[in-house]
Structure 1
Amino acid sequence: METSGEHQAQVQAQVLDAELVRAQYTPATTYLNTASSGLLPARAGDAMRAAIADMTEGRSPDSLFADVEEARAAFARIAGVPVSRVATGGSVAVYSGLIAASLPAGAEVLTAEGDFSSTVNPFHVRGDLKVRAVPLDALPDAVRPGTALVAVSAVQSADGRVADVPALRAATRTHGARLYVDVSQASGWYPVAAHAADADYLASVAFKWLTCPRGAVFFVGPRDPEVFDALTPVFGGWVSGENPWDSCYGPVTEPARSARRFDETQSLVAYTGARQSLALIEELGPEAIHAHDLALADRFRAGLARLGHEPVPSPGSPIVSVPELGSRQADLQRAGIEVSNRAGNLRASFHLYNTPADVDLLLDALSA
């Protein structure tokens, strides 16, 4: 039985270190648009400027390759997987394409209606796959005998709805299908380790909730050796070799024995920043970030109710999408409040550098 002291310790552990946040993030606007792109922490910007200075002065780039490996290891810890399962690249679409290339002609791929293009488009362009889209809530029940793969974003970009990944895992196991989860809108605030445990494949950009630079992307390869071996590293170059510096010329004769075989040639400066950003996410703690972000989103939802607005239902998500208010985005931007207009909906997204005052400022602007 949990004692009161243990409960108090858990509550304290979930409190975000506001002083550390203020030292690292200095937005010039009321920035409520992390679902589009996160803010860089100061330490990431400093590291990238130093790397660029080294490049302009002709210093060795060896430390930049070390940054890739440190970032890979940090993401592995955040995702709760061995580092040997993590590949690095520059685009989720490439990893969707990697999975699509592994499927036999005629295979059925099940997706959610309106999911993000990078997650689903590579399955469509194959031309010889049967791609079927259903509403997000209907996805688990739509898995059937003959479904080869379910591909879905853990959190929907357009409106913040959260997929029922455990139900999808149960359904795919029942019917012998595989599960591909894009956690681009989840990594950094959601306990991604739960998704990694349920998914056969997992991919994520890092420039949103992980507050990394654009250009850093992570892919978690399958735990099952048979499924792992079924992925052909069709996008692999020299960095995908077991010994990259021995794989610079001609075909790569010895692919890496780990998920590095699925590496793309990295944008090194992006990973220099990502190393610093991911270290900060670990330092702040995903659990504390999760609690902080959801509290702000719930505050916004409560305020919307008082104003007579009803957002798209997205419980447990820091993304709140409000129908018919998308036209307010331009006026809000002129007032120094950054949000998005998505299909006519006003989309606000709340993250670790936001405060209750930011939420109230947006609500005041919407009530004007």
Structure 2
Amino acid sequence: METFESLVRSEFAPKNTFLNTASSGLLPARTTAALHEAAMIRAEGGPLDPLFADVEASRAAFARLVGVPVTRVAAGASVSSQSALVAGSLPPGAEVLTAEDDFASVVNPFHARGDLKLRTVPLERIAESVRRTTALVAVSAVQSADGRLADLPALREAAKDHGARTYVDFSQASGWLPMDANAYDYTVSTTFKWLLAPHGAAFLVVPEDFGDLTPLLAGWVAGEEPWNSCYGPITELAHSARRFDVSPALFTYTGTRSSLELMEELGVHAIHTHNLALADRFRTGLTALGHEPLPAPGSAIVSVPRLGHRQPDLSRAGIEVSDRAGNLRASFHLYNTSDDVERLLEALSP
């Protein structure tokens, strides 16, 4: 039986010190092999049926990872398009509560409506800021810029007490932070970060009764019988959340299936323990160097103020991190080791 470490080593062999999963994760070996096989199917004129089957297998794997029935999962292309779908469900004048400086793909579609009432508060005040007039709270579970975690249990209770719906983006969380999507009205996650899949897939989890969503993006794949829904208006929408699907990028979902299978094999709880141990080790090392990271307890993302300008030099030295809002952002995932932490600390030493 393979251990966590041996399975990771069999799937990843980065040629640099890659600490930038919060931007885009590395592809496992099995995923690149699956993408190559899918490309050969298209090059040789093979049937598309296996690729469409990968979409459904990916949907089912994601549902298992986040703890909901597969019938509640819609397959799309991006967080922004899924946010737009949720934004489109609100009546004019509805109040939407968001966090300051949250990721644009989460909040901008609500601003773009032009006829909603937007309130923005600091992340740490979002639960206490829910009020009777709040229709929806839209927030990232983990902040992209600095790794701070939202107090989701408190938010859930506040929303319940005031009759507000919740829309939570888990893009910077799913894959390393154990989550229960069943606890919220809507959740969304892209897959190319911590879930280690190719770009172009995002999953939206909706309520059993679909909430107030309208399938504004519905094409032929949204029909209960897609291949009989290719022409004219769809006469019968899918009885599941598939009614909110958009036509899938087939290669992407072939890769996504393989990546999600690996995540299930490794286990999110084991990944969580691994990632936090490295992040905490980095925080301790930073303190010893005289640097104070931004407070983000329990996060796999560590941001260091005023060091973002070091990113180009670090990249040239073979260490990949991000510059976000002037901060150096390092993100630790399953393929990272303590050697990666020490290399970055050494590079930051005076």
Q: TM-score, normalised by structure 2?
A: 0.98
Aligned residues of 1:112 and 1:139 also touching (Cα < 8 A) = yes
Does residue 201 (structure 1) correspond to residue 183 (structure 2)? The answer is: no
Which residue number in structure 2 is paired with residue 275 of structure 1? 257
Which residue number in structure 2 is paired with residue 31 of structure 1? 18
- Alpha-carbon distance in structure 2 between the residues aligned to 1:321 and 1:86: 32
DSSP 3-state at the match of 2:71 = helix
Aligned residues of 1:237 and 1:264 also touching (Cα < 8 A) = yes
* Residue of 166, 172, 186 corresponding to 1:185: 172
Which residue number in structure 1 is paired with residue 56 of structure 2? 69
Which residue number in structure 2 is paired with residue 48 of structure 1? 35
- Alpha-carbon distance in structure 2 between the residues aligned to 1:271 and 1:25: 20
Percent identity for Structure 1 against Structure 2: 65
Which residue number in structure 1 is paired with residue 283 of structure 2? 301
Which residue number in structure 2 is paired with residue 289 of structure 1? 271
* Residue of 336, 341, 344 corresponding to 2:318: 336
Q: How much has 1:230 moved relative to structure 2?
A: 2.1
Aligned residues of 1:153 and 1:163 also touching (Cα < 8 A) = yes
Q: TM-score, normalised by structure 1?
A: 0.94
- Alpha-carbon distance in structure 2 between the residues aligned to 1:29 and 1:42: 16
Query: 1:4-153 counterparts in 2 under 5 A?
Result: 17-153=4-140
Q: How much has 1:307 moved relative to structure 2?
A: 0.3
The one-letter code of the counterpart of 1:348 is A
DSSP 3-state at the match of 2:273 = helix
Report the number of matched residues: 349
The one-letter code of the counterpart of 2:12 is Y
Q: How much has 1:229 moved relative to structure 2?
A: 4.9
Does residue 211 (structure 1) correspond to residue 211 (structure 2)? The answer is: no
Aligned residues of 1:242 and 1:255 also touching (Cα < 8 A) = yes
* Residue of 157, 167, 175 corresponding to 2:144: 157
Q: Deviations over 1:312-362 (max 9, x none)?
A: 100000000000000110110010000000011000000000000000000
DSSP 3-state at the match of 1:192 = coil
Q: Which structure has greater helix proportion? A: 1
Aligned residues of 1:108 and 1:129 also touching (Cα < 8 A) = yes
Q: How much has 1:53 moved relative to structure 2?
A: 1.0
- Alpha-carbon distance in structure 1 between the residues aligned to 2:130 and 2:76: 30
The one-letter code of the counterpart of 1:165 is L
- Alpha-carbon distance in structure 2 between the residues aligned to 1:108 and 1:316: 31
The one-letter code of the counterpart of 2:297 is P
Aligned residues of 1:32 and 1:339 also touching (Cα < 8 A) = yes
Structure 1 pair 142/18, CA: closer, same or farther in 2 (3 Å)?
Answer: same
- Alpha-carbon distance in structure 2 between the residues aligned to 1:332 and 1:244: 49
Q: Deviations over 1:157-213 (max 9, x none)?
A: 0000000011001111111100000000000001122xx132100000000000001
Q: How much has 1:118 moved relative to structure 2?
A: 0.6
Does residue 175 (structure 1) correspond to residue 157 (structure 2)? The answer is: no
Structure 1: which 4+ aligned runs deviate by more than 2 Å?
none
Aligned residues of 1:165 and 1:198 also touching (Cα < 8 A) = no
Q: CA RMSD in A?
A: 1.0
Q: How much has 1:253 moved relative to structure 2?
A: 1.5
The one-letter code of the counterpart of 2:277 is A
DSSP 3-state at the match of 1:187 = coil
Structure 1 pair 156/16, CA: closer, same or farther in 2 (3 Å)?
Answer: farther
DSSP 3-state at the match of 2:128 = helix
The one-letter code of the counterpart of 1:239 is V
- Alpha-carbon distance in structure 2 between the residues aligned to 1:141 and 1:249: 49
- Alpha-carbon distance in structure 2 between the residues aligned to 1:127 and 1:301: 42
Q: How much has 1:16 moved relative to structure 2?
A: 6.4
